[in-house]
Amino acid sequence: MKGLGELERSIMDILWAQSSALTAREVGRLIADRDLAPTTVMTVLDRLTRKGFLERTRDGRAWRYQPAESRDAYIAELMLEALDMTGDRSAALTRFAQAVSGTEAELLRRVLTELEEE
């Protein structure tokens, strides 16, 4: 999974925050901090669809876009890709474990225990 550019991230943040699919026009209205041409928004949405980040369905003459995966799934994939880039996964995981808070460590312990029990 490839990373996202700044505008792509902004658009994905908008779509991840929604409970339903949006049209390009609706996405454009929600990007309040930018003055983007509608064609720019449509181009980015099309590119995100081709990259596999979005799914789209026809709604009359327009397309409706929604994330193909959750934000959590995307972040988990980024974390796995980062692990793949290291020459020593054990060292990277150890460093990560040392950096998380006590609450996060407890959550990791619980999840790992649940996975072992399956």
Query: What single DSSP character describes residue 77?
Result: H
Domain covering 6-67, topology:
Arc Repressor Mutant, subunit A (1.10.10)
For residue range 7-39, what is the model confidence (pLDDT) as tens digits? 999 999 999 999 999 999 999 999 877 788 889
54 pLDDT tier (thresholds 50, 70, 90): very high
Rounded distance between C-alpha atoms, residue 114 and residue 35, angstroms? 47
Beta strands in 22-88 (DSSP E): 22-23, 54-59, 62-67
Which pTM does this prediction carry? 0.81
CB 28 within 8 A of CB 38: yes
